[in-house]
């Protein structure tokens, strides 16, 4: 019970101290601009980095990477399918020639 009283006292004193500091700083906080800018000009490097980050976020939001990857996979699949089709035609042609030769021999 003594420990709980000590913890409660520390909590109350901490809360009171935080409220006291906040009460003293409210006039200063009211003088700050509402939109968040403090009038300090951003450095060109910082604004360039922010623009790059925005472009990168748009890149991922629109899923451009996924679109490009899936398009590439589709193209590769079509190329492989075309090569397989050519090979199948060659095999069928050879098979027909062999069947034709075997019929001619009989």
pLDDT given at position 89: 97
pLDDT tens-digit map of 34-88: 776 655 666 788 888 888 888 878 777 778 888 889 999 999 999 999 999 999 9
Q: What is the pTM of this model?
A: 0.42
pLDDT given at position 39: 56
**Cα separation, 6 vs 9, whole angstroms:** 5
Cβ contact 59:65 at 8 Å: yes
pLDDT given at position 53: 86
Give the CA radius of gyration of the chain. 38
pLDDT given at position 55: 82
**Cα separation, 105 vs 9, whole angstroms:** 110
Angle at 74 between CA 69 and CA 80, to 5 degrees: 125
């Amino acid at each position: 019970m003594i420990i709980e009283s000590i913890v409660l006292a520390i909590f109350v004193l901490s809360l009171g101290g935080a409220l006291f500091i906040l009460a003293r700083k409210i006039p200063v906080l009211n003088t700050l601009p509402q939109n968040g800018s403090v009038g300090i000009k951003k450095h060109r490097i910082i604004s360039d980095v922010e623009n790059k980050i925005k472009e990168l976020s748009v890149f991922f939001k629109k899923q451009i990477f996924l679109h490009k990857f899936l398009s590439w996979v589709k193209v590769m699949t079509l190329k492989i399918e075309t090569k397989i089709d050519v090979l199948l035609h060659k095999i069928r042609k050879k098979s027909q020639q062999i069947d034709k030769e075997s019929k001619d021999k009989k």
